[in-house]
Amino acid sequence: MVLFALAVVGIVVVACLATALFVGPDPGALLGTAVITGGIIGLASLYRISSLGSGGSAVAMQMGGVPVPEDTADPQLRRLRNVVEEMSIASGVPVPAVFVLEQEPGINAFAAGYSTSDAAVAVTRGALDRLNRDELQGVIAHEYSHILNGDMRLNIRLMGVLFGILVLGLMGRKILMFGGRSRDRNAGALVVFALVAVVVGAIGMFFGRMIKAGVSRSREVLADASAVQFTRQTRGIAGALKKIAGVEEGSRFQQRAEAEEVSHMLFGDGLGLSGLFATHPPILKRIQALEPGFRSEQLERLQQQWRSAPPNGMQEDLTMGLAADGVAMMPDARAELAVTPPMVSSQVANPDEDDYRRADTIAATLPGELAALARQRESVKPLLLGLLLDDDDASVRGHQHSEIVARLGGDVARQAGELRAGPLLSLHPLHRLPLAQLAFPVLRLRPRPELEAFIDTVHAVVHTDDHVSLFEYCLGQLLERQVRESLEPGRRPRMGRRKPGNVKQEFATLLAVVARAGHADPDDARRAYLAGMQRVLPRDHVPYAPPARGVLALDDVWEPLDRLDPLAKEILVEAITAAAIHDGRVTVAEAELLRTICGVLHCPLPPMLEGQAA
């Protein structure tokens, strides 16, 4: 913020000096120059922030990104989508939009967006061509660290704010490129104005690069570390960094003007800057942080090797054989896990080394018919609605069918019912959320009016009455929130500031519903409720009172609880866990309910909570 203020002051002062040089020290002219220059900076920043309001996909497309189809048969693109989908399952977030920068031969990637619901991941064509699967996993894991740690929102805001101090320089360069050719008698004055704008813009460029470098460098180191934690090995991301340092194209962008704006978001340095302006640590230091014994001499040998024979990632996969630890068995749905509240809260947005392996297993065992439906535009809505239909009460299911018919038509209602009675009926609990995550990127491609109608339908289905199960209700809430956030990503609330003492009744309502849903005996439910309240409000006495509206009473709690500050949310996750597992054990199905509740509150959990199956 200090550097940004200095940049604005510097630009205004230099603009005023230029005015004084041409028209003399006229106070009115100097004041007008200062106001106009400041106005240009402010309006340009507001314009750029507004243009980025569509979220991560808008950034990727402005960079020339080409969407990767969900059902692509291209081997390289299929490999990329598989890696991204496995990462999403492992981290408990929706699958982001996936793009390829076809015109960029360098090895690079970035993630952009305001939240997990509108995130986009883009990789260059060079990354697809040069990296093997392990290395591509390492790069994507690095980008997922930015998604989970909130770096994306900061980076996209930074793009908008910095555009204001860069705009004068950009204007000057454009005028010199096109306006200098004019034969108009005012062309000379135009060129002089352009030169002054370029000089003034250089100040913005100087401070802009310093700001991006200061924000980016430490976060890149942390993202490298998270990638290692995520993929269980260093060879992937280290191999990608070695190839960046060893191949001729490196990580440089061909479109330097676009790369200037997003340089702080990239996996590798896209501009070749160093010193104060370097947005990334030196490549050799990044490699040595992962492989301490690696020396510059080894890098020189790799450079010589790849200069004569550039690496081919797909060929390396074929030569080495795809990494295969074997597909582990899915745990029984009734199996129990031994977990503790602190253990669960520590996993929020923090997948560990085993989570990627579990994601592999979940992705590999997901029924092929359902996975195919999740990737098709016409079947995605019936599939998601089928997940929300009630199994236990025929009258409730009849009302839900009527609500779908009234809003989306009889065909969608019929397909949803058939799916629920067919393949969805025996779906393993660990497959339900991943299936929704796979379907989400296809769903959000639908036109806005269709998405609005779908949200309305989901709301009607889960609010049929209070007999709808807590899982179905919470899954519906999760879908509603994700779709709304994808429609208006820029309006996603920032990090909250509320304290637990300000939302006592909301805590009590949520914990009472969770306790009653998991315990048939009223006394057990009361003890579970008290265990949760002891975690979050140990000095307050709020009596156990299950709400008369059942799960529908939770409509009033989500927004206040979602605005808690991060430490209060940590306590909230522990309290929900304590209520769900007050006896110290939780079934796989109950763990999925816990993951769904946490997802509604923007606290994503990995696919299986830590603990040993009993």
How many whole angstroms separate alpha carbon 284 and alpha carbon 244? 10
Which residues are catalytic, by number?
143
Q: Residue 332 gets which letter from DSSP?
A: P
To which H or E segment does residue 209 belong?
helix 187-231
To which H or E segment does residue 65 belong?
strand 65-67
Residue holding tokens 């989306």? 408
Distance of CA 65 to the CA centre of its chain: 17
CB 71 within 8 A of CB 377: no
CA dihedral sign, ordered 453, 454, 459, 464: positive
CA-only gyration radius of the chain, Å? 27
Closest CA to 201 of 228, 229, 175, 227: 175
CB 263 within 8 A of CB 271: yes
Strand partners, 99: 67, 122
How many whole angstroms separate alpha carbon 415 and alpha carbon 424? 12
How many whole angstroms separate alpha carbon 435 and alpha carbon 276? 45
How many whole angstroms separate alpha carbon 236 and alpha carbon 131? 9
- Any alpha helices (H) in 499-545, and if so which ranges? 504-518, 522-536
Closest CA to 509 of 476, 546, 478: 546
Write down how long the chain is: 614
